[in-house]
Structure 1
């Protein structure tokens, strides 16, 4: 009955989800650990570090706020575009479970800030489908990708996702491509110019090279790997379900889900292409994975099997905090 209850509209849930999320993420505040170490980061994240005076707890508070905002924004995005054909608050709950499901990511990271910025890129590219202000929205998509890139370097690859998204939407035209490219380059140009005027361009380029050449090495517990396996199994199950019902969907919904799926593939591909990437890409997967899994649990025909699967998902997502 848990799934049947949660996939309705419960405004109280929108209050409880942030509390639930922070409880699952409590380790980030009790025993804060820097997820970036001493390595120089991209300028926008470095600015955030300066504003918080290098306090790990302060950074983690910002991270917690971003996660709370994202948990609420995923519900708003579906209400705005209705690509899951039901008004539901379940995505917020699922987001909270997934967002806290990697115990090595208890804390703020540039990829989390990038994920927050890329959410607005997703919102803007969805708006292009409606055909009004396509140039302005294309510029916005590029701008948010550019801002994400000066927060987390490897976010720059999402400019490719934007171009593929334009093709899916039927707007792969020179003017939309150019508008997005201008938006993407603008924050990068301003940042590089600032470093140049302060005779620090070499330092900026060295930081970029260090991030590119960084070889990510980490070890994870068996329980953490099992949880990722469970999460991957649910993504596969939900993707198969979506493929089975895709012909029943409105054209707009199909296109939105394809854009989210390409976002997912772009993130996974980055892990294999760039040696400097690692577990932090999990933060970038939060939005597409939340919607893919939410779509399955909301729209699959109600049965005891669905309740059992949802219980397994919830149980594994909570248990990882104790055994991961």
Structure 2
């Protein structure tokens, strides 16, 4: 299967869609009684309220989520190929993205984090363009606005503001206008929200939006390790990819090295931002899938022994399915 997706063959479009539904067999066989989700955070519903999310049947919810993930995988695949982050262009980034979004049941339903992944892929593309742009002030402003929109949908997305400064450090010489423009873009979105709160005499509630930013990072975690055994094969592949990346790191183009550093920090920030949502759900970690998928795709793109990488991927898929069913 890996060898098939190493090629940019149009038939992979059909295979990827079939694979996306195949990886969701478990949830289709055991449909939840009811699935609800909100497009926007409670503080944004005063401005925009989309009630359709609670009127979908479980089957429709999962099917729409699968189609969204398929579209994201294609967009993500195109972004990674356009920036030449792998050895050659392929469908592997899309394949790994679909696989990553199938690790846990909560990943398979509509959620704010799933919708934010559209924005995350968009800003990944813009971040990777920073080093190739003569004047990036406008681009950084756009990134700030995109992060602002994402924060309206899911508040922990605000943590991506840190990625603006990290990307500027990696890709650009210091320019204070660029550093300010990202914040201005973000503030622009919330300026309109603040005005709406003011018009509705709720300005005092607007300040409460930012209370989670004062949360302390939790020092104690309650984890049922059996629920996360499916991450073992992922960790093994990431370890193999890291060793391979380390071996080839200084042979790669400078922009490619910087891109992998950027994605590594994005993975950490996306994962750690869960503390900004006291009642966060497991689907929060969908925000980690895109940067992790690049690492997985890097390994399978550069692996030499076909029998080994094909077997490894089959075992990976089978282990995911096993833990989903049990």
TM-score, with structure 1 as normaliser: 0.85
- Aligned ranges for residues 204-283 of structure 1 at < 5 Å? 204-206=206-208, 209=211, 222=226, 224-271=227-274, 275-283=278-286
> What is the distance in 2 between the residues matched to 1:231 and 1:237?
10
Distance in 1 of aligned mates of 2:2 and 2:192: 48
* Residue of structure 2 in register with 1:149 after alignment: 151
User: In structure 2, how many angstroms separate the alpha carbons of the residues matched to 1:13 and 1:45?
Assistant: 43
Distance of aligned partners of 1:100 and 1:31 in 2 relative to their CA distance in 1, 3 Å threshold: same
> 1:8: which partner in 2?
7
- CA shift in 2, pair 1:61/1:4, >3 Å: closer
What is the CA deviation profile of residues 138-185 of structure 1, one whole-angstrom value per residue up to 9, with x for unaligned ones?
112111111111111111111112101110112442111111111111
Matched, 1:43 2:34: no
Residue 22 of structure 1 corresponds to: 21
Shift of 1:49: 3.8
Q: Which deviations, in whole Å up to 9, do the C-alpha atoms of 1:238-297 show, x marking residues without a partner?
A: 122212211111111111111111101112332467655452232101100111100011
CA contact (8 A) 1:14 1:92 kept: no
1:88 to 83, 87, 90: 90
- Report how many residues are paired: 320
Note the C-alpha offset of 1:61.
Answer: 5.0
Tell me, in whole angstroms, the C-alpha distance in 2 between the residues paired with 1:101 and 1:169.
Answer: 33
1:162-201 to structure 2, matched below 5 A, reads: 162-201=164-203
**How far apart are residue 31 of structure 1 and its match?**
2.8
1:110 CA drift (Å): 1.4
1:112 to 87, 111, 114: 114
CA distance in 2 between counterparts of 1:115 and 1:45 reads 23
What TM-score does the superposition give when structure 2 sets the normalisation length? 0.85
> Is the CA contact 2:37–2:53 (under 8 Å) kept in the aligned structure 1?
no
CA–CA distance in structure 1, aligned partners of residues 53 and 75 of structure 2: 25
**Closer/same/farther in 2, CA of residues 41 and 319 from structure 1, 3 Å limit:** farther
* Unaligned runs of at least 5 residues, structure 1: none
Instruction: Out of 117-126 and 185-194, give the one that drifted further.
Output: 185-194
The one of 308, 313, 317 aligned to 1:310: 313
Q: Which runs of 5+ in 2 are unaligned?
A: none
**Structure 2 CA distance, aligned partners of 1:34 and 1:207?**
26
